[in-house]
Amino acid sequence: MAILPILRYPDPRLRVKAQPVARVDAAVRRLLDDMLETMYEAPGVGLAAPQVNVPRRLIVIDVSKERNDPLFLVNPEILEREGSIRLEEGCLSVPGIYEPVERAERIRFRALDREGRPYEREAQGLLAVCVQHEVDHLDGRLFVDYLSELKRQRIRKKMEKLRLRTL
Ligand code: ZN
């Protein structure tokens, strides 16, 4: 397994619409495992392939306290959204920034797992928010897009400074 570099906002590669995966083969499984390791190491609760510069519809999530309950979403699709919830969100591509975003509180989604088997499940609260946040990444959308223009500009400036410091 390997730790992959994570793209940072406002990198334009985070805006690319990711393509579906045709087959879950060994290469896809290796990438999912690398993404999981990268997410645990960061540390974060979710990571989408475009964040590691792979424009494919792949997501890893683990919202468990023990960090031992990984969820793999290949070609995910949100089927139903219900209610609303406002949680403070962060993103590994926008480090150090946490802002409340309104999302559906309960969702039903389907995806393929790490073996390529289809599954369908319901999620609520943090997991529901996390799935919506990560699926947004696959469509080139970031949580900062839900904030005001002014807030987004401030975050952009902060990220540019951070980038200069870490170069
Ligand atoms: Zn994110």
Torsion of CA 38, 41, 42, 45, to 10 degrees: 80
Catalytic, 134? Answer yes
Q: What is the DSSP string of 12-71?
A: GGGGSPPBPPS---HHHHHHHHHHHHHHHHTT-SEEEGGGGT--BSEEEE---TTS---E
Cα separation, 135 vs 158, in Å, equals 25
* Mean pLDDT value across the chain: 96
Residue 77's identity, in one-letter code, is E
CA of 143 to the centre of ligand 1 (A): 7
Report the DSSP beta bridge partners of residue 82. Answer: 106
Position 163 confidence tier, pLDDT thresholds 50, 70, 90:
confident
Cα separation, 127 vs 166, in Å, equals 32
* Secondary structure (3-state) at 112: strand
Mean pLDDT of 39-61: 98
CA of 93 to the centre of ligand 1 (A): 6
pLDDT at 37: 98
Cα angle value 42/36/117 (rounded, 5°): 155
Residue 72's identity, in one-letter code, is F
Which residue is catalytic, options 37, 66, 89, 134? 134
Q: With 80 as the cut, is the pLDDT of residue 166 above it?
A: no
